[in-house]
Amino acid sequence: MASVIDNKLGVMASKVASVLAVIMTIACILWNIDAPTRMGVAVLTEQYMALQLGLAICIVFLISGFKRAEPDGVSSPGIIDICLAIIGLCVLLYAAAYYAELLSEQAYRPPILTLIGSVVVILVLEGVRRRSGWALFFIVSVFFTYALFAHKVPGPLIGREMSPVKLVQYVGFDPSAVFSTPLAVGTIIVLLFVFFGQLLFAAGGGAFFTDLAMAATGRTRGGSAKISVIASALFGSISGSAVSNVVTTGVITIPLMRRGGYSKTDAGAIEAIASTGGQLTPPIMGAAAFLMAEFLDISYMTVAAAAVIPAMLYYISIFLQVDLIAGRDNITTVDDDLMTVREVLAMGWHFLVPFAVLLGALFWLRRDPADSALMASVAIIAVGFFRKYGEDGLTLTKLLNVFISTGKSMVDLILIVAAAGFVIGILNITGLGFALTLLLVDSIGNNIFLILFVSAFICILLGMGMPTSGVYVLLAALVAPSIVEAGVSPIAAHLFILYFGMMSMITPPIALAAFAAAAITKSNPLDTGLAAMRIGWAAYIIPFIFVCTPALLMDGEWLDIGIAFGKAATGVFAVSVGIVGFLGKKLNVGLRLTFAILGICSLPIALAPATWGHVNLICCALIIPLAFYLITSAKKSPTNSPAPQGTR
């Protein structure tokens, strides 16, 4: 009897959560078309954010029980969970309705603000624990503990004394804390891009991109891995989540790679590193790019332009390595009956329309990201209802499901950025942000490379086990100011922390993307993570290169940009050859070391700008003829080709 009641309760809670998810998505659309203003109603941004946070809290407690959610993200709630969901929604609806009046009374610390702040802090932290695990929960809890005892901390990290009442009122209500930039970006901009992505997949865009990648590279050497690289780059840029990208594209690409001859470990590693890079790739770059633009107070176009060349180098390295591994191990082309690129485009050309609208609105019309995403979403609906891709196309039922899935998929992000807002608030009110920057700079001195190495380690450490947006927001508040203080440009500093924050996804011991891929390949997770580090080696070097060479961030004359890119690409090629040990034929240890050393010396890391620039050019001049000689000699000596291998 009890189980029957629990089942009915779970079904009812799920239905209510679906309705709230639809409301969340519709509210975002209405906000971005200025519906309140058009109706003559003045609504503060904080009021809108309070509504969205209340909906997110309510949804998470309706679909997630006390224990961590199941792999599908849903578990049955109990009576207490439902009560917490109702309390969270009601309290935040009240805060939304009376926000202006409550803000004017904040200086007098009324009890109602203590109640609101306490409910927000407790329910957001518990929601984060349920949906994202203990890592972020623990980090945020450490900051709360510091805030309560900051005045007793010895040394340079001493902070202002803070009572529990003042603390919860500030972090759980103030526009500089929970209702600050991260939550605004998440609920106003990112939500619409998630809606855009969900519409695209519902209309068949996911199948289109996979088929396009297969048609473009499936018939080439190592085509199965190249399909993974291209498809994961396209998916990852939209989805903004390395793990979800792995499980979405990996179920198709990993079996293809295994059939082609890639080992379990390499197949999982290639999928993990390719999926992680999607969040670093313009034009969309997941959610992080929009957060970065707001933090730096620059246009999204500036962020996307700066990220282009680093992303190109990243994928050049991966693409080269999967091709060279295929040559070394005699890995075959995809054995499926593939369509041609022309056939794929003939079936799915209409998916190019919303992307043209999106890019045109962003970079030509100079519309803000939210408006651009909304225009592109309308374009998908327009083409999706009137044209199918195979059996896939939009219907009214699918459209309704898109509204539901968008709201539910945003729950985790909204809670994460709200928790990040707590950290930002604590850094501001205690002075810890300034103290951390001062401590790091004073401890290390003016050695920019030492500061970068320490910052890279901190970024990977803090990023382990955390979702993308949470990683970036925390690092932007904790680490980026120290790098900027050392003399690095703000955009280079923020891209630096984004890269190393993302590398936590493939860096053991907690390499979420690599472990997700290992679950599909049924390989050893640690070995898969180490293989992902090997294949993704360039991602650990590229941030140091663009910090030292601003031309790689599109900062400078076109000639300087072209020369810097040429040096970096040549270096990436040579090091990749040295790592894989193949270029037309298998290379001995001496040749591998030669390529690796020449490649490293070709990278434009300006230790001594004048001298190092000459070294770069000399090494590039040596790499090109050496590579040409090896390739041509291998073609003349077919006996050097490796013997065919089966699937390992």
Under 8 Å between Cβ of 205 and 351: yes
72 band by pLDDT with thresholds 50, 70 and 90: very low
What is the per-residue pLDDT for 209?
83
Question: Lowest-confidence range among 105-119, 279-293, 584-598?
Answer: 279-293
Residues 68-74: what's their mean pLDDT?
48
End-of-domain residue from the set 147, 182, 217 = 182
pLDDT number for residue 70? 46
Q: What is the mean pLDDT of residues 618-639?
A: 84
Torsion (CA) 162, 166, 168, 170 in degrees, nearest 10: -100
Report the percent of the chain where pLDDT is more than 70.
92
Look at residue 253 in the predicted model and tell me its pLDDT.
84
Q: Is residue 170 part of a domain?
A: yes
Maximum Cα–Cα distance across the chain: 85
Whether 583 maps to a domain, the answer reads: yes
Please state which of the ranges 326-330, 334-338, 371-375 shows the lowest mean pLDDT: 334-338
When pLDDT is averaged across residues 358-381 and rounded to a whole number, the result is 89
Handedness of CA 310, 314, 317, 320 (dihedral sign): negative
182, 208, 231 - which closes a domain: 182
Average pLDDT of every residue of the chain = 87
Q: Is residue 315 part of a domain?
A: no
Please check the confidence at residue 404 and state whether its pLDDT lies above 90. Answer: yes
The total number of structural domains that make up the chain: 2
Query: Using an 8 Å Cβ cutoff, are 286 and 237 in contact?
Result: yes
In a domain, residue 49? The reply is: yes
111-130 pLDDT tens trace:
999 999 999 999 999 999 98
pLDDT band for position 234 (cuts 50, 70, 90): confident
Domain-located, residue 262: no
Question: pLDDT value at position 644?
Answer: 47
**Structure confidence at residue 638 (pLDDT):** 54
Does residue 79 belong to any structural domain of this protein?
A: yes
For the entire predicted model, the pTM comes to 0.83
Residue 164 lies in a domain: yes
At residue 530 the predicted structure's pLDDT band, cuts being 50, 70 and 90, is very high
- Report the C-alpha gap between 245 and 206 in whole angstroms: 11
User: How does residue 74 score in pLDDT terms, banded at 50, 70 and 90?
Assistant: low
Flag whether pLDDT at 397 surpasses 50.
Answer: yes
Domain that holds residue 623: 556-641
Question: pLDDT confidence of 207, banded at 50, 70, 90?
Answer: confident
Final residue before a domain boundary, out of 152, 182, 212:
182
Residues 6 or more apart in contact with residue 319 via CB below 8 angstroms: 226, 229
Of the ranges 163-177, 198-212, 218-232, 599-613, which is most confident?
163-177
93: confidence class by pLDDT, cuts 50, 70, 90: very high
| First and final C-alpha spacing in the chain | 52
Residue that is written with structure tokens 């890269």 in the block = 499
Residue 643 pLDDT: 46
489 within some domain:
no
Where do runs of H (alpha helix) occur along 487-608? 490-503, 512-521, 525-535, 537-548, 558-580, 589-602
pLDDT in the model for residue 366? 82
* Higher local confidence (pLDDT), 332 or 561: 561
Distance CA 323, CA 307 (A): 24
